[in-house]
Amino acid sequence: MPARIISIGTALPETSAPQPDLRAFFAGQPGADRLTRRLIGGAFDASGIETRHTVLEGLAGSPDGVFIAEDGTLLSPTTGVRNDLYRSAAPPLAATAARDALTRGAVAADQITHVITVSCTGFFAPGLDYHLVRDLGLSEDVERTHLGFMGCSAALPALRLASQIAEGRPRAVVLVVCLELCSLHVRETSDPEQVVAASVFADGAAAALVTAGDIPGDPGGLVLDRFATALTREGESDMSWTIGDHGFQMTLSAEVPRIIGREIRDAVDRFLGDDPPPGIWAVHPGGRSVLDRVETGLGLEPAALHASRAVLRDCGNMSSATILFILRRLLEDPAVEGPIAALAFGPGLTVESALMHRKR
């Protein structure tokens, strides 16, 4: 039997920040000259985002003395300090998303046979996979795999691996958890690429349960038909993610949407082959311009990207977790029928694709 996603759970940090407030915060930093303020205003206003969530309470007006000074100035803690906060904040948020998936799928913790974790915004060991076993009360012989530092596209390779495990072991139930705390790497900057990154990235976690067997719980879900990976002919230097002394440094150039717009048709045509294009798409919203380029490049109807635009609007770009937020909306929408294509873009530029369909 083909593997299927039987449920998706999500979790967001308690602190939410309206996009206009974040724009005002960054534009009000002491080092922001008139040109930088114009860049910030343009990037934040064009993002397609209304609200983002963060583990940094200071971004919502509660100075913490680590990231935000009492006078509202953005501080520059070391990478070690940032990673310490990741280590404390990541496990509970990941566990919340996983519990949500278990509840929605009517699956007991002792039914989980494999755990796959995904993250690119922090490191520690024993890591998220270990803590999920402990926090959820999973069996100690659960097989664990971590996919690290693959960027925004990593959820689809994780689902691909889960599908391969499930189809090879019909009694397997795989828990996939994507956790990203992008706001931990916020910085004051006048670099246009860093301004764009600051305007879109956010925090969140999502979890999916994947199986190919008949287990107790919901018999429906999203059947995972096939996957594909492609590298664009250019873009290696336009989207990258490196570790600096004061946080991880995201390069996200203005060329990214244009590269996607130029090359997406060829990548999708090779992926779909002779299959007709689906009417519903789950596209990772790197930003509103990325969705616009995909819509134009593939000749999609506006309704095809409704869920992608809604998640961008309500949550921002949560890196790898974002595509699972989109798929959850589609999974829970009773009007969704037929094939669904998923696309996510990562450093390189890498294009990850998945084709699935709804099972009742």
- Torsions phi, psi for 98 (to 5 deg): -65, -45
**27: nearest Cα among 13, 11, 9, 45:** 45
- Residue among 152, 178, 182, 315 flagged as catalytic: 152
Alpha-carbon dihedral angle through residues 318, 289, 45, 97, given to the nearest 10 degrees: -20
Q: Rounded to the nearest 10 degrees, what angle do helices 19-27 and 192-200 cross at? A: 150
- The answer to whether residue 152 is catalytic is yes
Active site residues: 152
